[in-house]
A and B are shown apart, each in its own frame.
Chain A
Amino acid sequence: MKKFINNISQLSRGILGLAVGLMLAIPASAETLTVYTAVEAEDLKRYAAAFNEDHPDIKIRWVRDSTGIVTAKLLAEKNNPRADIIWGLAATSLMLLQSEGMLQPYAPKGLGKLDSKFRDSANPPSWTGMDAWIAAVCVNTVEAKRYNLPTPTSWMDLTDPVYKGHLVMPNPNSSGTGFLDVSSWLQIFGERGGWQFMDNLHKNIAWYTHSGSKPCKQAARGETPIGISFAFRGAKSKAAGAPLEIVLPKEGVGWDMEATAIMKGTKKLSAAQTLADWSITKKANILYNKGYAVVAYPGVAKPVKYFPAGIQEAMIDNDFEFAAVNRRRILKEWQKRYDAKSEAK
């Protein structure tokens, strides 16, 4: 009997061990902020480190994914939100969340210093901008020569049949870059012209990628001659030694802002506000400038190496309201038209 009990106690100790093991896997720190973001992974460590220089007591727990996925995740978690704050997500996505009543309006300290384009116009604002990222076309010069491809100068050029099978672009359903491309084409060419353009473009696209940086990285490796991506990625790949030319199509390029917003109902409001305050400081903006040519804090922006010249002029007069309001409809329509990947014959 005694041994029987011994045996049971051994068993229960084992179970207890398992339970403790599982519990340990759960992080337990009061001052940890869950931060949702779509910022490039290589920048996240720098951002967190710089923030912790000023606020060592607040730990950042990143949840990073493509813009579309973070947006979809936030929407899916609407009734059971897990994020405390969003730092670095497309403004169009934040406007969508705002319309769902998911954001906590807050005026960070020093708001007045920001360029007025880079904030929600309401007072207090629901979101504040960080920087702008801008569409661009990455052309691999070596591969272009090999396939005898002329360097495109406009979006319309890309519908030329010579590019058939040589173009890669991000899927707007998952990628923020993909979405800003699509929304900019609808603004540039109008609703009907825009879809017409995309129908023609679709015939040339080799495949749609999940992430916005992949087309440019694939172009950099020569896996595809031309990738529709964003300028910052192109500049980075070029700096890494890729034979790239970064083209700004002459009709103008789409762009979106990365922005910060506090989630309504967060249990760590004051920590989230501290982060929001810090996110618009000059120091933070200098950090953003490492990868983004245009930042929210006036006078900070320094030229980024290999960043295409004349990009400020090429940026379209983006109607964020249009993009945010029509986001779901545009994506659904896009999916209906192009998501059936095998070409209709």
Chain B
Amino acid sequence: MSSVATLPASTASVRIRISKDDILLRTGLVLLIGLLLLAVVFPLYTLLSKSFEDRDGEFVGLQNFREYFETPALFTSITNSLGVAISVALIVLVLAFVYAYALTRTKMPFRGLFRGIALIPILAPSLLAAISLIYWFGNQGVLKSWLFGASIYGPIGVIMASCFWVFPHALMILITALSTADARLYEAAEALRTPKWRVFWTVTLPGAKYGILSTGFIVFTLVITDFGVPKVIGGRFNVLATDVYKQVVGQQNFEMGAVVSLVLLLPALVAFIADRWVQRKQVAMLSARAVPFQPKSDPLRDRLLFVFCSIIAFIFIAMLAMAAYASFVTFWPYNLSLTLNNYDFDLMDGGGWEAYYNSIRLAIYCAVFGSGLIFLGSYLVEKARGVTWLRTILHLGAMLPLAVPGLVLGIAYIFFFNHPDNPLGFLYGTMGILVICTIVHFYTVSHLTCLTALKQLDPEFEAVSLSLKTPVWRTFRKVSLPVCLPSLLDVASYLFLNAMTTVSAVVFLYSPETMLASVAVLNMDDAGDIAPAAAMALMIVYTSAIFRMFHSLLVRTLNRRTQVWRQK
């Protein structure tokens, strides 16, 4: 290709013929852009236009917004939401940073185990933490006295439960941020006899600066858009996310729901832009000459951190264990004998065992179709020749879902797919719409994972196969796909776990036939059946854990077969 570029323009126009490969790739690009338009852009546009309409669909300008901003409850919700999101971001940032530091920069024992325990919340819906807290600190809680008379129903409970479920998200970013360190800086500091605390402030922290900022933004967005936790344990404590839920599900006031979700989109959007800006700043921390940092042992520090990590890990296990125990209790707190009755989901509100099977179905569809589609998309963005503008559009389209909270996406889908004139309306109320919505909801992170994997591949592969006249799909199948397989499996696993645990988008889209386990947890808690809700949440945890184990086994086997070339 590079030789083409140096030729005079007149010959170039003759030489650059659009090959069959190009047609294939460009058709793919256009098709995927079309899909993203249908699944992201159009629904969001419908949401926006709906917020300017009254119940009969007449355009009323800003009237809904005026009405909404005149509600006295609104500002309480805004300050509550911001207060909780900022507190959680700060608390989690400090805790997760120390935890990540212990895992990456020390010789503390049992680092692998601690890492595994800290990732537990990813296997569970966010509601599990709230349910477990009710058993620990609720009015009949085992440790109620520890709150000194304060109620767990309210900001305390919301903050505690949120810290639990966002912790692993923060931890993973911080581990990545702290893993990339240049040992030469530390050697220099040591040679200059810089005190350790000073090294920490001048080398370690600045090195992880962008990771820390990014974590803050992500935690903030996750918390401000989550409504499962405040719904279960918020009591009278209103936040924006529960306002949306109340407007749409409680009162079927969709126009107002559209207004609140736009209000909710704002902080999420700001956090998204800020995060992107931070990401761009973070270029090549590690130059080619960097020497990987090897932690040395430091008995006192390692012991202190071991105690710290043990406390956190203990809390995590206690959260899970309490929910697990409570799910077997006959009638808390008056009859503590054990029973399986709470697992008899078919006799309760919430969709029964069918909901559980539906969730597994959804998770499998998302993992299979989602990872395939997303990988194809990132491949086209990375490898299509020419047509830079098409590739940029597709990439931007793939980045967009990260800025859209699941809640907002779900409502946008109602408007778009339930519109009487939409030919895609047949999807409404089916498993199909849940699959599409979930894939879109978690598209960006998967896209970025695939993109990173593809970027590791030298573009020479394509150039060589072009000159050998190998069709592009063959290079795709023989080179790109096998090399990226571990990342692809990671994406599939990410989609599976999220599909099992997500509530925020699908809660607006499920129908009686497509009831999901995570939604069932919410509904059972809603009806006051908290023990069965705990039981269903645990079924999700068990399933995710088994899937996760299966995944790591598969990756290990495959790595042995396809990734041998990586070893030098």
A68 at the interface (CB under 8 A from B): yes
Stretch from A20-28, A186-194, A250-258 forming part of the interface with B: A20-28
Are A340 and B73 in touch, CB under 8 angstroms? yes
Report if A42-B251 is in contact (Cβ < 8 Å); known contacts: A63-B512, A223-B134. no
Are B250 and A210 in touch, CB under 8 angstroms? yes
Instruction: Compute how far the CA of A242 lies from the CA of B140 in the bound complex, rounded to whole angstroms.
Output: 14
Are A41 and B348 in touch, CB under 8 angstroms? yes
Are A61 and B528 in touch, CB under 8 angstroms? no
A128 at the interface (CB under 8 A from B): no
Partner of A208 from B236, B249, B332 at Cβ < 8 Å: B236
Which of A1, A26, A341 gathers the greatest number of chain B CB atoms within 10 Å? A341
Q: How large is the interface on B (under 10, 10 to 19, 20 to 34, 35 or more residues)?
A: 35 or more
Are A75 and B528 in touch, CB under 8 angstroms? no
Query: For residue A343, which residues in chain B have a CB less than 8 angstroms away from its CB?
Result: 236
A217 at the interface (CB under 8 A from B): yes
Are B365 and A21 in touch, CB under 8 angstroms? yes
Are B528 and A213 in touch, CB under 8 angstroms? yes
B245-263 interface code vs A (CB 8 A; 1 in, 0 out): 0100111111000000000
Partner of B140 from A25, A206, A223 at Cβ < 8 Å: A223
Query: For residue A300, which residues in chain B have a CB less than 8 angstroms away from its CB?
Result: none
Which of A26, A69, A174, A224 gathers the greatest number of chain B CB atoms within 10 Å? A26
Are A209 and B252 in touch, CB under 8 angstroms? no
Are A221 and B471 in touch, CB under 8 angstroms? no
Are B528 and A218 in touch, CB under 8 angstroms? yes
A173 at the interface (CB under 8 A from B): yes
Are B235 and A221 in touch, CB under 8 angstroms? no
Are B249 and A241 in touch, CB under 8 angstroms? no
Instruction: Compute how far the CA of A222 lies from the CA of B333 in the bound complex, rounded to whole angstroms.
Output: 8
Query: Which 9 residue pairs spanning A and B have beta carbons closest together?
Result: A217-B528, A72-B252, A341-B236, A214-B528, A340-B73, A22-B432, A25-B431, A41-B349, A76-B252
Instruction: Compute how far the CA of A309 lies from the CA of B103 in the bound complex, rounded to whole angstroms.
Output: 65
Which of A206, A221, A339 gathers the greatest number of chain B CB atoms within 10 Å? A221
Partner of A18 from B153, B238, B246, B369 at Cβ < 8 Å: B369
Partner of B432 from A25, A68, A215 at Cβ < 8 Å: A25
Query: For residue B426, which residues in chain A have a CB less than 8 angstroms away from its CB?
Result: 26
B76 at the interface (CB under 8 A from A): yes
What distance in Å separates the Cβ of A145 from its nearest Cβ neighbour in chain B? 13
Query: For residue B194, which residues in chain A have a CB less than 8 angstroms away from its CB?
Result: none
Query: For residue A22, which residues in chain B have a CB less than 8 angstroms away from its CB?
Result: 427, 430-432, 435
Q: A42-B347, A217-B528 are in contact. List 10 more A-B contacts (CB 8 A).
A: A3-B473, A61-B512, A142-B334, A206-B236, A216-B528, A221-B332, A222-B140, A241-B335, A339-B73, A342-B76
B4 at the interface (CB under 8 A from A): no
B293 at the interface (CB under 8 A from A): no
B24 at the interface (CB under 8 A from A): yes
Query: For residue A339, which residues in chain B have a CB less than 8 angstroms away from its CB?
Result: 73
Main secondary structure of the interface of A (DSSP, over half): mixed
B411-431 interface code vs A (CB 8 A; 1 in, 0 out): 000000010100000110011
A171 at the interface (CB under 8 A from B): yes
B229-246 interface code vs A (CB 8 A; 1 in, 0 out): 000000111100000001
Query: For residue B138, which residues in chain A have a CB less than 8 angstroms away from its CB?
Result: 223
What distance in Å separates the Cβ of A96 from its nearest Cβ neighbour in chain B? 13
Are A62 and B512 in touch, CB under 8 angstroms? yes
Are A69 and B250 in touch, CB under 8 angstroms? yes
Interface residues of A in 146-198 (CB under 8 A from B): 171, 173-174
What distance in Å separates the Cβ of B477 from its nearest Cβ neighbour in chain A? 9
A243 at the interface (CB under 8 A from B): yes
Are A217 and B24 in touch, CB under 8 angstroms? no
Query: For residue A4, which residues in chain B have a CB less than 8 angstroms away from its CB?
Result: 20, 24, 471, 473
Interface residues of A in 225-244 (CB under 8 A from B): 240-243
B317 at the interface (CB under 8 A from A): no
B99-132 interface code vs A (CB 8 A; 1 in, 0 out): 0000000000000000000000000000000000
Report if A211-B528 is in contact (Cβ < 8 Å); known contacts: A76-B254, A222-B139, A242-B331. yes
Query: For residue A142, which residues in chain B have a CB less than 8 angstroms away from its CB?
Result: 334
A207 at the interface (CB under 8 A from B): yes
* CB closest chain-B residue, reference A143: B139
Are A241 and B350 in touch, CB under 8 angstroms? no
A6-24 interface code vs B (CB 8 A; 1 in, 0 out): 0100000000001001100
Interface residues of B in 493-535 (CB under 8 A from A): 511-514, 526-530
Query: For residue A206, which residues in chain B have a CB less than 8 angstroms away from its CB?
Result: 153, 235-236
A73 at the interface (CB under 8 A from B): yes
Which of B80, B134, B251, B332 gathers the greatest number of chain A CB atoms within 10 Å? B251
Instruction: Compute how far the CA of A224 lies from the CA of B348 in the bound complex, rounded to whole angstroms.
Output: 22
Are B348 and A207 in touch, CB under 8 angstroms? no
What distance in Å separates the Cβ of B511 from its nearest Cβ neighbour in chain A? 8
Instruction: Compute how far the CA of A266 lies from the CA of B513 in the bound complex, rounded to whole angstroms.
Output: 20
A283 at the interface (CB under 8 A from B): no
A80 at the interface (CB under 8 A from B): yes
Instruction: Compute how far the CA of A339 lies from the CA of B514 in the bound complex, rounded to whole angstroms.
Output: 31
A302 at the interface (CB under 8 A from B): no
Query: For residue A25, which residues in chain B have a CB less than 8 angstroms away from its CB?
Result: 430-432, 513-514
Instruction: Compute how far the CA of A270 lies from the CA of B246 in the bound complex, rounded to whole angstroms.
Output: 36
Instruction: Compute how far the CA of A38 lies from the CA of B334 in the bound complex, rounded to whole angstroms.
Output: 30
B190 at the interface (CB under 8 A from A): no
What distance in Å separates the Cβ of A46 from its nearest Cβ neighbour in chain B? 10
Instruction: Compute how far the CA of A68 lies from the CA of B332 in the bound complex, rounded to whole angstroms.
Output: 29
Partner of B346 from A45, A75, A216 at Cβ < 8 Å: A45
B386 at the interface (CB under 8 A from A): no
A123 at the interface (CB under 8 A from B): no
